[in-house]
Amino acid sequence: GNFAMASSMKAIQIKNTGGVEVLEHVIIERPKITGLTDVLVKNHFAGVNFIDTYHRSGLYKLSLPAIIGREGAGVVEAVGDGVKDIRPGDHVVYVSPSSYAEFTIANSKKVAKVPDGLDLKLAAASLLQGLTAWVMITQSYEVKKDDWILIHAAAGGVGLLLVQLVKNCGAHVIGTVSNDEKAKLAISAGAEHIINYSNQNVVDEVMRITDNKGVHAIYDGVGKDTFETSLACARRLGSLISFGNASGKVPPFEILRLSEKNLKLMRPTLNNYIETEEEFRKSTAELFTIIKEGKLDIKIWKTYKLNDAKQAHLDLEGRKTTGKLILKL
Ligand code: NDP
């Protein structure tokens, strides 16, 4: 009846882990406010991130059944008693689980009001990947003027943002991509050199470009396939920031090898940089300022319907995409 209709919602749920076939389109009960810091958001958009494929495949464990998705943007429906600055009707963007759904309960500590001049779609497209790129260049390895920086998958979601932010620091960007179309895009985002790692030797190219010194830092979200290359591209005293597993997780590693060049190796996650409300608010405010100043162009590859979440995953894992994928609720 009417009551059941009003309290149900569409969502993408997984009951088992596996390929895209485990993504089920379901009608389930809407979540309700139960905690003091809960914010009930009517989602307009959910961002698609590579992590969603790890949750689906089981590389990162969720307790099942689960609605996947880690970020969204929409309008606040209701808030818990402890929430002070966010009100029903506010336009918000958040980093929180279960965003592939019409409604999500987000923790107010990870919910930000969308600033004037930024629409909900762009907000959903910018938050998780934007924060990731921002904390990587300010905290994992602090990029300095004139540094040489290697960025893998430079035309990807995080990649295109890293290229622009690193360039903005006055550093030199070398990007890797798998095809010429991606190369053009990464160059237009600010990469000084692009290496097509499908047909060029990355280490040789990096050494040629850097006068055989190597780079000061490497941002590597590809993982398994690029890890050894990344190590070889680092200069003495360099830093390898391994922040993802698009090609699979990096196998166990002998740390003594770092002494060959006194390298720093780090495996950071965004979550540990935005654990506290203060950290989340600071980084989010910095990111929004950069976007409002026009210093970060967020390129949306495609907006998919919720029903097409499977296709979004196939495209992302199939290396077909550039920039950001979005689901429209
Ligand atoms: P991308 O848009 O970058 O998509 C992944 C890209 O990786 C592909 O387009 C492809 O680019 C490249 N790639 C290389 N090898 C493979 C492979 N075997 N299979 C699939 N893709 C491959 O995704 P995101 O921007 O969402 O994420 C990028 C990386 O950043 C991921 O590893 C993700 O997990 C990580 N990440 C980590 C975070 C953290 O907190 N640590 C937070 C957010 C993202 P090409 O064709 O040019 O090779």
Tokens representing 192?
């000084």
Domain check: are 88 and 122 in the same one? yes
- Structure-token match 């690029």, residue found: 226
Can you point out the beta strands (E) in the chain? Answer: 8-14, 24-29, 38-48, 66-67, 71-79, 91-95, 103-107, 111-113, 148-151, 172-177, 193-196, 215-220, 234-242, 264-266, 300-305, 324-328
Cα 43 to ligand 1 centroid, rounded to whole Å: 25
In degrees and rounded to multiples of 5, residue 280 shows phi and psi of -60, -45
Last residue of a domain, one of 247, 267, 287: 267
State the amino acid at position 128 in one-letter form: L
Q: Is 125 in the pocket of ligand 1 (CB under 6 A)?
A: no
Cα 33 to ligand 1 centroid, rounded to whole Å: 34
For residue 44, being part of any structural domain is answered with yes
pLDDT in tens, the chain (329 residues): 445 557 999 999 999 999 999 999 999 999 999 999 999 999 999 999 999 999 999 999 999 999 999 999 999 999 999 999 999 999 999 999 999 999 999 999 999 999 998 999 999 999 999 999 999 999 999 999 999 999 999 999 999 999 999 999 999 999 999 999 999 999 999 999 999 999 999 999 999 999 999 999 999 999 999 999 999 999 999 999 999 999 999 999 999 999 999 999 999 999 999 999 999 999 999 999 999 999 999 999 999 999 999 999 999 999 999 999 999 99
Identify whether the C-beta of residue 229 lies closer than 8 Å to the C-beta of residue 205: no
Cα 259 to ligand 1 centroid, rounded to whole Å: 28
For residue 34, being part of any structural domain is answered with yes
Q: Is 51 in the pocket of ligand 1 (CB under 6 A)?
A: yes
Q: Which phi-psi region, left, alpha or beta, contains residue 293 (left: φ > 0; alpha: ψ -120 to 50)? A: alpha
Nearest-CA residue for ligand 1 atom 10 is 319
Residues of the domain holding 284: 2-127+275-328
pLDDT digits (tens, 9 = 90+) for 77-90: 999 999 999 999 99
Q: Is 177 in the pocket of ligand 1 (CB under 6 A)?
A: yes
- 3-class secondary structure for 205-253? HHHHHCCCCCEEEEEECCCCCCHHHHHHHEEEEEEEEECCCCCCCCCCC
Identify whether the C-beta of residue 313 lies closer than 8 Å to the C-beta of residue 23: yes
Test site for ligand 1: of 127, 158, 302, most ligand atoms within 8 A of the Cβ: 158
CA–CA gap between residue 156 and residue 146 (Å, rounded): 24
Cα 155 to ligand 1 centroid, rounded to whole Å: 10
Identify whether the C-beta of residue 219 lies closer than 8 Å to the C-beta of residue 243: yes
Q: Is 131 in the pocket of ligand 1 (CB under 6 A)?
A: no
For residue 106, being part of any structural domain is answered with yes
For residue 286, being part of any structural domain is answered with yes
For residue 138, being part of any structural domain is answered with no
Atom of ligand 1 nearest to the CA of 318: 20
Atom of ligand 1 nearest to the CA of 155: 47
Tokens representing 151?
């960025």
Domain check: are 222 and 309 in the same one? no
